[in-house]
Amino acid sequence: MNNKEVNIKSVLIRYGVSAVIATALLFLILFLNGYWNLTEPQDKLRVMCDAFSLPGILLVLTSGLIFASNAGAFDGLIYGLRVGVEIILPFLPHKYVKYRDYIQKRREKKVKGYSFIFFTGAAFLTAGLVLLIVFQVKYP
């Protein structure tokens, strides 16, 4: 198999795992809000809207954080924390690394292939927005 060919099985596993995580969050939100004990359709629709929106937002924002980290937005902060820990805890074994070398090493370790997180989150967020529109139209 060629490296550029997309392995359908691994893509389906990635999307499946992220969808299972989002669905677990959805059911957790439904459970915490007492969805099955609600009697009013307005309340049920509101809780469903929240239950779809929150996992979608979390997954979309997680993919955004990965993107920002890959762009180097947190490199200075992480390096500073690392050096700070080395200064505060000098008895731990550590090797001083220059910032330039640290950045070069971080550039080699970028996270790749995380778009499935964004698209799964976008699907859940879209469902939540559709439910929100239905809620606003039906119960103004």
In this predicted structure, the answer to whether residue 117 has a pLDDT above a threshold of 90 is yes
In this predicted structure, the answer to whether residue 95 has a pLDDT above a threshold of 90 is no
- Which whole number is the average pLDDT over 92-118? 89
User: For the stretch 66-96, what's the b/e string if a residue is b when 16 or more beta carbons lie within 10 angstroms of its beta carbon?
Assistant: beeebeeeeeeeebeeeeeeeeeeeeeeeee
Q: What does the pLDDT read at residue 120?
A: 97
For residue 44, with 0-12 CB atoms within 10 Å meaning exposed, 13-18 middle and 19 or more buried, which class applies? middle
CA distance 35 to 44: 6
Q: What does the pLDDT read at residue 42?
A: 94
In this predicted structure, the answer to whether residue 1 has a pLDDT above a threshold of 80 is no
Rg for the chain, CA atoms, rounded: 21
Q: What does the pLDDT read at residue 4?
A: 52
Q: Are 117 and 66 in contact (CB under 8 A)?
A: yes
Q: What does the pLDDT read at residue 40?
A: 93
User: What is the torsional sign of CA 110, 113, 116, 118?
Assistant: positive
Q: What does the pLDDT read at residue 21?
A: 96
- Which whole number is the average pLDDT over 75-80? 92
In this predicted structure, the answer to whether residue 41 has a pLDDT above a threshold of 80 is yes
Q: Against a cut of 0.95, is the pTM above it?
A: no
